Amino acid sequence: MITTITLNPAVDVRYNLDYFALDQSHRCADYQKTAGGKGLNVSRVLKILGHEIQATGFLGGGSGEFIAGELKKLDIDNRFVQIDQETRTCIAILSEGPVQTEILEAGPEIGQKYAAEFMERYVHLLKDATVICASGSLPRGLPEDYYCLLIRKAHEKKIKFILDTSGAALKKAIAHRPFLIKPNRAELEDLCGKACAGEKELVEQALALHQAGAENVVVSLGAEGAIYLNAQGAYKASVPEISCRNPVGSGDAMIAGFAHAVTNKMSLEDSLRFACACGIANAMEAETGKINCAVMDELRRQIRVVAIY
């Protein structure tokens, strides 16, 4: 059983427009509303890959009810803590280019009562978990070291903890030895406090994060592929050019790919190839957190992985 954690979920609303400009009214006939938040995107892809999922975090209000309904449709075990505030809404506007504009609500503030209730539930869920995937920002009210607490609990049960977050929450968590982290270039530069001009600098900074505690460091580079570094060395994945329909959730699909790879004991090279194929397959779909497995398998054959360090 894979456990996904989405502490700050959202109802994601996406508007697809041919043209978008500020200070104008736009009528949109092409739009989608989905259960969002990075961990829920991970959950959907893992379900497509055939895994049993237990999903947890915080849900509240009408938006929370919508997400709970979507989880039921997908046959994902809903283990969220119910709170007395409204789950946030996040809006993405896709227009020609493609250009993507996002409006992200901050979301509810989690008090000590709900934080304690979540921790109790999390410890219970660890009994059935083989891999933990924790994704996204921390909601207001939780301390910056909250992921550190979750990692420690997972270590006590010898469960691998995959973490996809950013900023102070990620910086604090690295020393607690997460199994895998996946910063993109901008997040890596923010963590290290310096720009990475080329591949050499990217590898150096990924190595610094590995030495600081992260067992596996994946740097996602979008159309340029990804770099994967651990104690065995560093590898670069080069990916095929595609027609991108919707990039939202591609990093989450990569996380799902890595969780699948861990569960199936894939080699480092095959893990990177599989995860990148999941990310690209997501970008080829209109719906967030969705992949076509046949397309993904074909992409795997086109992805080149080479040792670079």
DSSP code string of 272-300:
HHHHHHHHHHHHTSSSTT---HHHHHHHH
pLDDT tens, the chain, 309 aa long: 999 999 999 999 989 899 899 999 999 999 989 999 999 999 999 999 999 999 999 999 999 999 999 999 999 999 999 999 999 999 989 898 778 898 989 899 999 999 999 999 999 999 999 999 999 999 999 999 999 999 999 999 999 999 999 999 999 999 999 999 999 999 999 988 888 878 999 999 999 999 999 999 999 998 899 999 999 999 999 999 998 888 889 999 999 999 999 999 999 999 999 999 999 999 999 888 999 999 999 999 999 999 987
Catalytic residue numbers read 252
3-state secondary structure of 252: helix
CB 272, CB 308: distance < 8 Å: no
DSSP label at residue 80 = P
CA 212 vs CA 81, 150, 262: distances in Å: 33, 18, 22
Q: How many CB atoms lie within 10 A of CB 162?
A: 26
Q: What is the CATH number of domain 2-307?
A: 3.40.1190.20
Residue owning tokens 């909601």:
139
Are 192 and 203 in contact by the 8 Å Cβ rule? The answer is no
- Would you tell me the crossing angle of helices 250-263 and 268-283 to the nearest 10 degrees? 150
The secondary structure element, H or E, covering residue 9 is none
Q: Which one, of 255, 250, 236, lies nearest residue 280 by Cα? A: 250
Tell me the whole-structure pTM to 2 decimals: 0.93
